[in-house]
Each structure stands twice: as C-alpha cells, then as structure tokens.
Structure 1
Amino acid sequence: MNERINPWGDDLCSDYSNLFKEFGLQHASDGLVARLPNPNRLWRRGIVFAHRDFDKFLNSFEKGKPVAVMSGIKPTGDFHLGSKLTVEQIIYCQKAFSGKLFYCIADLEAFADNGQSLETSAEHAIQNTADLLALGMDERNALVYKQSENKAVSNLAFIAARKTTLATLDAIYGHQNLGLYFSALMQSGDILQPQLKEFGGPKHVVIPVGIDQDPHIRLCRDLAQKIDPHFLPPAATYQRLFRSLDGTTKMSKRDPLNVISLNDEQELIKKKVMRALTGGRATAEEQKRLGGEIEKCVVHELMFFHFQDDDMALKKFQERCTSGGISCGDCKKEVAQKICSYLKNFQERKKKLLPKARKMLEKQ
C-alpha cells in the first residue's frame, strides 16, 4: 500500500512497518542503541524506531570527527507534548555527541502554511526559545535563528530550487500551493547550512524529527550533492507520533482541546487528562477481572512517552493497570498530578529564562 506522509497534516501513521518498505527507512536496532552514550528513554523504549544513515553519523562521532545537530519549529504557538518529545531528542544529541545545535524558527513556513505574520512569529519565537532553554538546551553550543533573517539559508534554498522540478515536489508532497513547496526548499537550506564553510565545512548532521517530517529529509538527501558534491546527505532519527488526548490524530496545536501545552494551567491540565482516551473496560467488575488495555490508552502513553523516566517504575505502573489493580479514574488523577508537578517546575524555569531567550534572538 502506498502511503504519503504529510508534514503539514495531523494524521497518525497507519502502519509503521510499511514505512520501511515504502520509503527505505533503517531500523533503530538494539545494536545501534548499544553504541549510544547513556541512551535516553526515547531510545530505550523504541519511541525512536527508525533512522536514515544515523550509523554513519555515529561512525564519524566515534572517530572524533565534528558532527552537528539540526532541527526547528514552526512558531505558531506554545510547545506541546509532541514538540517536547522532539526537543528532548535534539538536546540528547547535542549533549551526547557534543555537536553544535542549529535550531530554525521557521517563520516563513508559518506564513506559507498558516498565513501568520512575521511579527506574530517573532513573539512566539521568544517563547519557543525559552522553552528550549528550560528543557535543557546548551545555548553556548547552539545557533537559534529565524528563517526570514538568515541569508545563507535563503541562498541555499534558491540553489535547491534550480535543482528541483515541480514533478519531484508533487511526488513527495502531493499537490500543494507554491508557498509550501518553497518552504520545503527553505528547509533543505536549513538542513544543509551546518555544512557551509563558515561552520567548518562538510560534516555528518543528524536531524531528530517525528516520522511525519520524513518528506523534508528525503528531499534534502536527494538535493545535498546536487547543490555541492562535497555535502554529505543528512542523517535523521525518527520518533513515533504522539497521539492527541482523544487518540484520533497526532498531537497538534490545531486542536487545543486535545493537546497538553507546556504552558497550560494546573486545573486545565487536570480537566484534559480526565477527558483522555483510556483502555478501560466497560464496567468496574470487568476492569478488576480483565485489567485495562494499555495498548489503547493515551493516559498510559503520557507516562510511556513523557512522565515516567524510570523503566522499572513504568513496568509497575503498567502491571497495576493490566492486572486490574487500579481504576481508570484513579489512574488519571495520579497521572494528572505527575504532569502538573512537572509542568509547574518547567514553567518556573521558563519564566526565568525569557530574558535570555529574547537576547539570543536579538543578537542576529
């Protein structure tokens, strides 16, 4: 079955296994994970499930060669849990591999996809940069920039445009307006920027993203050596998409009732978690006898993806559910409290870091 991935949509992936055959992804094998310095829970739990050429990136790192990390955000609102997942992977790579982080505030894409003004994006950019800092980004080894203010990226995008046909873009993305096509070419510029002479020249660069962003990676890998024969095709790691609270789509800013924002207030978080999809049985008696179905449960995914870093504690949490040892209502209350505690601390850190975020963006 042919499956087109839409980086601008909200659809969940219907069949992860099919992506390996359809798009030539590589498995994030146990052998690959064993090579990582202190792998985080995303690697340990198979949340990062696939890659492109990450083994080559690791080879360079292990030989002591310089490497870099690249990613970005469309600045259309607050970070949510899906954003957090990607940022945690970015920060892991920055610290584990001592790679300079290039982080793009994709304000031109926000205009192309959402019609959002550059002025509005600039305000969101400050908030998003503070989010990065509060989640642990090392600003001493990072370049955070706005697409609209980066001439090098624009130049690369124009060169990429001369190497790309409309048929190629249509085959990768489907029929889209020209603004989205050009924003895709801008992203190729973003991805290739770390290999420019002013940043040390060609090197292996990894882009940690959700699987929905793979079209951008495929396009850029095809373009890299057409733009400069010395450029190395970018590597990528892919994490599974985190579901919306009702379980119907990927978590997205477009659906505020089914997303947990990192800036949500405590009472709102509790209300949202209490509304979330569970794998509970039809009656309390069935729940005690049969246990919950965690494979259906978004509340379980909140812990699995985000809020229980300890693998043994997660196993106990799962066993209590599947053995019928807790009701869904009580489980939701416990999880909501854990999320509230985490986000309260996060929001306090972020507030203190807002002035630093503003200064980082003013330097450009």
Structure 2
Amino acid sequence: MRALSGIQPTGPFHWGNYFGAIQQYIALQDECDDGSYYFIANLHALTTVRDKDKLRQYTLDGAIDLLALGLDPDKAVLFVQSDVPEVTELCWLLLTGTPMGLLERCVSYKDKLAKGLKADAGLFTYPVLQAADILAYDATVVPVGEDQLQHIEVCRDLAQSFNHHFGETFVLPKGKVLDQSARVPGTDGEKMSKSYGNTLAVFDEAKAQRKQIMRIQTDSRPMDEPKDPDGDVLFDLFKLVATEYDVGRMAATYRQGGFGYGDVKKALADAAEAYWAPARERRAEWAAKPGEVREILAAGAAKARQRAADVLRRAQQACGVRGW
C-alpha cells in the first residue's frame, strides 16, 4: 500500500484540519508497506492565495506544522508540490483527454458558481491536477473526506480512459474515507472552516486561544436546566482535546445541570492548552531551524521526482510524445 495526500498552504492549520484529516493520514505513515507521500499543495493554493510572500511563508509554515504534528520524514516523503514539475507535465497529458462535461459536474466548481463567486480555469481544472498528483506516484490509497470522493472517481476515470486508449499505464487508486465521526464545529457552531472565519488555530498561543474560546456564543438556557451534551459546540470541542475520564465527567455535568457555560469554556481552554502543548513545543523547535526544514523538503522532492519521472516517462512513451 502506498498512500498520498496533499494539503493546501492557505493559512494556519485549525482544529478541523487536524482532527478531520491530518491526524488520520499521518497515522498512515506507519501502515504503508510501500511508502507514503505528503505534499504542500502550493500550486492548488494559487487559486486563492495571490500574494507571493504569503504563499511562500504559508508553504514553509505548512511543512513546519506537519513535522510538529507528527509527520516523520524517515517514514514518509514530505515535499512541495511545485518542486516536482513532472506533475504539471503529466497534468497536460491528462487534460488532453478530459471531457469538459466531467469537470463541469465537479462539486468544487459547481459550488463556487452557485455562490456567485468567480471561477477561473485553475479551479475548473483543479481535479485534473489533483489526478496528476495521485497518479504520478503510483499511489494506491488516497485519504480524503467524503466531499473529495468525487475527485478520486474523476482520477480513476481519467486513468482508465488513458489506459484504454494507450495501454496499461496508470495504477488505479482507491479513496480512503477519513473518519468524520468526530465532528469539528467552529466557534459559531457551523463546520470549522477558514472561509467561515470560525476557526481555532492549532498553533495559536495558549492565551490567544483561550480568549477565542471564552468568546464562543452559547444558548440562553438557565444554568440549572439539564442539557444534552451531544451537539453542543463546547462539548463537541471539549471531547476532542480532553481525556476520556474528563469527557465522561463533563457529560454527566451537562445532564445534571446546575453549571455555567463559563466554567465549561475554562475547562475547554485548559484541556486545549494541555493537549496542544507538546506539538507547540515541537513547532517552536522546528521553526528555529528553517534551513533543516528546507533540506527535508528538498530531499523529499528528490525522491518524489524520481518516482514521478518514471511514471511520466511511462505515460509519454505510451501516448507517443516520447521515443519518436
């Protein structure tokens, strides 16, 4: 099994990024007998980040964050997407056989149009570049959320079409749906998302995060009224970072009643500070040695390019643009 995943450097990672995806695909680095590849998707990020200095900083920060959160460069290949130009060349080979209708049906494109937002060619062809990202490394497993499963199907469709026309060239990947059972609500109760402005950043300073938590809006039910903890924003966040014992006690407190939300917020802030403390310490260590981080990324890119070059050569020979 060979896993592959990428994450866009569009700003600081938040709790939703970690519990919804990063935590789980980092765990895969111990399960893959044929390696795992993780990249900072800076080419994809160009559809939203239009400031070159921010993109460069976000890219480095993304690598530092992943290392601090547990990605081990001795077990997984970590690199920056744009450092493997073979992927964009492979993307063109796939684009030449991609039906327009297939891309018009993709959720990411349709959602943006439905919201009245301007959609550019980068967003429209996003699934094809994503397919090239996957196929370039002969990945067999791609961990994704349910909302991204369609893009894995697009990848498989494009690979099967290419294989049909030019002979067996690409390995067909399978999507591994990430466990979404741990709902990660934002500070407003909606899904935590940068676009909603309701995030709690993983690496915010503890004091700053405590202030954010204390400002979370709650309902106006009386303190003495028993409450169902399930679906409550504070409790849903608390159970992500608290110990099993403390979660059980907090659930009992909710059902019993006679408590104030201010007490819950303080308990949540305390639990969050303790939970993230080791990762914050590791991040400070990695941030102090950016040169070493760049060396890790360069070494990862060299490994990734070797793999991608083999796949690209295979595809070029198959379709006739190489060896003529």
Paired AA for residue 72 in structure 2: D
Please tell me whether residue 237 in structure 1 is matched to residue 177 in structure 2: yes
Select between 338-347 and 264-273 the one with higher mean Cα deviation: 338-347
Larger radius of gyration between Structure 1 and Structure 2: 2
1:296 is aligned to 231
Secondary structure of the 1:254 match is helix
Q: TM-score, normalised by structure 1?
A: 0.70
Distance 1:316 1:285, change over 3 A: closer
The residue number in structure 1 matching 2:61 is: 127
Query: Would you say 1:214 and 2:149 are equivalent positions?
Result: yes
Q: 2:249 aligns with which of 316, 320, 336?
A: 316
Closer, same or farther in 2 for the Cα pair 1:97/1:362, shift >3 Å? closer
Judged with a 3 Å threshold, the aligned counterparts in structure 2 of structure 1 residues 322 and 192 are, in CA distance, closer, same or farther, namely: farther
| Shift, 1:255, TM fit | 4.3
Once residues 74 and 179 of structure 1 are traced to their aligned partners in structure 2, the CA distance between those partners, rounded to angstroms, is: 14
Letter in 2 for 1:353: W
Q: What SS does structure 2 have at the residue aligned with 1:242?
A: coil
Distance 1:213 1:345, change over 3 A: same
Residue 238 and residue 344 in structure 1: after superposition, are their counterparts in 2 closer, same or farther (change >3 A)? closer
Say if 2:130 is the partner of 1:187.
yes
Q: Aligned-residue CA RMSD in angstroms?
A: 2.3
Which runs of structure 2 are paired with 1:1-364 in the superposition (5 Å)? 67-85=1-19, 86-117=21-52, 119-173=53-107, 174=110, 175=113, 176-195=119-138, 205-228=140-163, 229=168, 230-240=170-180, 242-248=184-190, 250-256=191-197, 258-278=198-218, 282-286=221-225, 291-304=226-239, 306-308=240-242, 310=244, 313-324=246-257, 326-354=259-287, 355=289, 356-363=292-299, 364=301
Q: RCO (CA 8 Å, sep 6+): is it higher in 1 or 2?
A: 2
CA distance in 1, matches of 2:265, 2:34: 39
C-alpha spacing 1:142/1:296, structure 2 compared with 1 (3 Å): same
State the SS of the aligned residue for 2:188: coil
Inter-CA distance 141–281: structure 2 relative to 1 (3 Å threshold): same
> Unpaired segments of 5 or more residues in structure 2?
114-118, 302-324
Q: State the 1:219 CA deviation.
A: 1.5
Contact 1:184–1:216 (CA<8 Å) still a contact in 2?
A: yes
- Specify the SS of the correspondent of 2:178: strand
Question: Compared with structure 1, are the counterparts of its residues 113 and 138 closer, same or farther at alpha carbon in structure 2 (3 Å cutoff)?
Answer: same
TM-score (norm 2): 0.78
Query: What's the secondary structure of 1:283's corresponding residue?
Result: coil
Tell me the percent identity.
29
- Distance in 2 (alpha carbons) for counterparts of 1:224 and 1:320: 54
- 2:224–2:259 CA contact under 8 A, matched in 1: no
In the alignment, the residues of structure 1 paired with residue 255 and residue 160 of structure 2 have an alpha-carbon distance, to the nearest angstrom, of 51
1:182–1:99: structure 2 CA closer, same or farther, 3 Å change rule?
A: same
Q: Residue in 1 aligned with 2:317? A: none
- Describe the shift of the 1:97–1:244 C-alpha distance in structure 2 as closer, same or farther (beyond 3 A): same
Distance 1:324 1:98 in 2: 50
Q: Which amino acid aligns with 1:133?
A: L
In the alignment, the residues of structure 2 paired with residue 292 and residue 144 of structure 1 have an alpha-carbon distance, to the nearest angstrom, of: 45
CA distance in 1, matches of 2:195, 2:74: 33
Contact preservation (8 Å) 1:81, 1:260: yes
CA distance in structure 1 between the aligned counterparts of 2:3 and 2:243, rounded to whole angstroms: 23
Structure 1: 5+ residue runs without aligned partners? 1-66, 196-202
